[in-house]
Amino acid sequence: MAKRDYYETLGIDRNAADDEIKKAFRKLARQYHPDLQHGEQPKKTAEEKFKEINEAYEVLSDQEKRRRYDMFGHAGGQQGFGGGPEGFDFGRGGFGDVFNDIFEDFFGAGRSGQRAERGSDLQYNLDLSFEESVYGKEATLKIPRAEPCTDCKGTGARTADAVKVCPSCKGAGQLRFQQGFFSISRPCNQCEGAGQIITDPCGTCRGRRRVRRERMLSVNIPAGIESGMRLRLANEGEPGDNGGPPGDLYVAVTVQPHEIFTRKGNDIVCDIPVSFVTATLGGKVEVPTLKGTTVIKVPSGTQQDKAFRLKGLGVPSLKGQQTGDQIMKVKIQIPTKLTAKQKALLTEFAKESGMTMDTDGDGFFDKMKTYFE
């Protein structure tokens, strides 16, 4: 049977970067490793798939082999293969390192027992008003997270005597197995990898070593932030296990819509109503801004959607560059209720201007028919 394309095997594009190739391989290796399968047939199927993804990775992770494969296909890629069991060279730098990482992910830290693990990242969803997003603010967040229990100092036991060495793994937290040509370790089932057994759990955390607490955190929200952005606060996530570093806190921002203003880049846009008379004859119009009201001069003959710009009344740039502007679009207000006198004056105006009054509403279409005849 013809071999599958190596890029298709790993589920990546042909222009994938080295880190994308490694990431795809790690994911598939975890999924199809034979030692994690149950049953004879699933194990056999996984072994074939595992060999296939290993072969694809060995070629695509080597720049020279990948170049030959891209030029000549499988015939070019096979040159220079070999070295390790089943035709894979586990001793080479990058390939061996990936396998070491994968087996640590599967079975824990191996020889050294429990390994330090980074704490989980947290996300806080923060709603901001339009004004707050423009000018920024100092926000106080209430962050719930799991923290080490202070009563038992994170041991999970009521007293120091209640912590016993696990009789199964002798405190290592790992049990070693020989499988094929690999010597691997797995977390001890009896102590769940802790290396210890708690005979009298802490009354506060009930042996879980952690309790849920709310932590108050002050965060500076920068001026100019937009909806959908996230702020990363390093080491403000949940504490790590076994001395591992804490995770990070991400503040996800949602900006509430404004009744009048919208944002376009760093500019603030709004519509301003202008009367038919003012647009025609010109005049002054009071307009709103985020800093209060101001007056702009509307020249005579102003048309619908004419834009006026107020410099520097927009949104500050997050990159420290200049502030945007406020842009106002004219929306001419056409009167809907006229007195008889007003109608007469407009009719006189139309006659003086040489306009044709098509009061029956069909004049435009009649003109179009004449045009095409």
The average pLDDT across 268-278 equals 95
- Residue 44 CA to residue 47 CA, distance in Å, equals 5
Who wins on pLDDT, 131 or 50?
131
Quick check: helix, strand or coil at residue 230? strand
Specify whether 99 is located in the same domain as 126: no
Q: What are the residues whose beta carbons fall under 8 Å from the beta carbon of 73, sequence distance 6 or more?
A: none
Give residue 87's pLDDT.
Answer: 36
Tell me: pLDDT of 367 over 60: no
Give residue 232's pLDDT.
Answer: 93
Specify whether 243 is located in the same domain as 273: no
Specify whether 137 is located in the same domain as 30: no
**Residue 167 domain-assigned (yes or no):** yes
Q: What is the CATH number of the domain that holds 329?
A: 2.60.260.20
- Asked if 271 contacts 258 with a C-beta cutoff of 8 angstroms, the reply is no
How would residue 267 be classed by pLDDT, with cut points 50, 70 and 90?
very high
Q: Which of 2-6, 40-44, 113-117, 209-213 has the lowest mean pLDDT?
A: 113-117
Tell me: pLDDT of 330 over 90: yes
**Residue 326 domain-assigned (yes or no):** yes
Which of 78, 107, 136 is the endpoint of a domain? 107
- Residue 217 CA to residue 339 CA, distance in Å, equals 63
Give residue 112's pLDDT.
Answer: 39
Q: What is the CATH number of the domain that holds 58?
A: 1.10.287.110
Give residue 270's pLDDT.
Answer: 96
Domain that holds residue 302: 262-334
**Residue 152 domain-assigned (yes or no):** yes
**149-to-65, 213, 293, 321, 342 alpha-carbon distances in Å:** 53, 10, 55, 47, 80
How would residue 108 be classed by pLDDT, with cut points 50, 70 and 90?
very low
Specify whether 181 is located in the same domain as 269: no
Place of tokens 């997270």: 145
Place of tokens 């207000």: 333
Element (H, E) at 56: helix 40-60
Specify whether 134 is located in the same domain as 75: no
Specify whether 86 is located in the same domain as 182: no
Specify whether 53 is located in the same domain as 129: no
Q: How many CA atoms lie within 13 A of 193 on its CB side?
A: 17
Specify whether 251 is located in the same domain as 294: no
Who wins on pLDDT, 40 or 297?
297
Task: Quick: pLDDT tens for 73-94.
Answer: 776 544 443 333 333 333 333 4
With CA atoms as reference, report the closest residue to 4 among 45, 34, 48, 38: 48
Which of 74, 107, 140 is the endpoint of a domain? 107
Quick check: helix, strand or coil at residue 368? helix
**Residue 114 domain-assigned (yes or no):** no
Specify whether 11 is located in the same domain as 101: yes
Give residue 288's pLDDT.
Answer: 95
- Residue 106 CA to residue 96 CA, distance in Å, equals 15
Which range has the top average pLDDT, 48-57, 82-91, 290-299? 290-299
Specify whether 130 is located in the same domain as 214: yes
Give residue 264's pLDDT.
Answer: 96
The average pLDDT across 298-310 equals 95
State the total domains in the chain.
Answer: 4
pTM: 0.57
The average pLDDT across 130-137 equals 96
Who wins on pLDDT, 290 or 16?
290
**How far separated are the first and last CA of the chain, in Å rounded?**
72
Give residue 220's pLDDT.
Answer: 94
**Residue 371 domain-assigned (yes or no):** yes
